[in-house]
Amino acid sequence: MCSSDNKGTPDCGHDVGRLINTLSHQLKRQMCVQEEEDSLTTNMQRLVLHYILFQSLQRDIYQKDVEKEFQIRRSTATGTLQILEKNGFITREPVKQDARLKKLMPTEKAKAVRQHILDNIRYVEELLAKDIPEEKLTVCREVLMQMSENLSGDEKRREEITDHE
């Protein structure tokens, strides 16, 4: 919400949404600094590949998992995964129980850039947390998660309204 100065003029310079948007753009620029090394052209591709690389070590990963983890629509997930597949970072393997279901598997090419992606993510995380006490980071995470839940709840409410029209 915008605050007002002593003349009643709105000051939206520090709105939470605007700050998050600015931070998001800064993060995207920071994460793509070394993109030529691994040919991942977007931050989303890098994050999704990181997720697949590490989660697939513990369990089978499907497109629905990517959609849920990143809170993205099916079309966005499909586009990102198609690019990762086209560029040789993942394959989609049919599942025995349901041929329609495709398991996402990292390729050797993906495994070769695993450490680079991990190092880049660690570097950015350290940069974000620099000079911020752990207590404040904990509160920040909690607040950001609550904001995400607030937005998700509103999205679901809107979808329900649209579905009933």
Whole-number pLDDT of residue 41: 67
Residues 6+ apart with CB under 8 A from 63: 74, 77, 78, 81, 102, 104
Question: What are the tokens at 86?
Answer: 């086209």
Pick the CATH number of 36-122 from 1.10.10.10, 3.50.50.60, 1.20.120.80, 3.40.50.970: 1.10.10.10
pLDDT score recorded for residue 157:
78
- Write down the pLDDT at residue 30: 76
Instruction: Work out whether the CA dihedral 106, 107, 110, 111 comes out positive or negative.
Output: positive
Output the pLDDT for position 114: 84
Per-residue confidence (pLDDT) for residue 122, from 0 to 100: 87
pTM of the model: 0.68
pLDDT given for residue 93 in this prediction = 93
pLDDT computed for residue 43 by the predictor: 77
pLDDT at res. 136: 97
HSE-CB for 144 with a 13 A CA cutoff: 11
> Under DSSP, is residue 93 helix (H, G, I), strand (E, B) or coil?
strand
- Provide the pLDDT for residue 84: 95
> What is the mean pLDDT for each group of 10 consecutive residues in the chain (165 residues)?
56 78 83 58 84 93 94 93 95 88 94 84 90 96 93 80 71
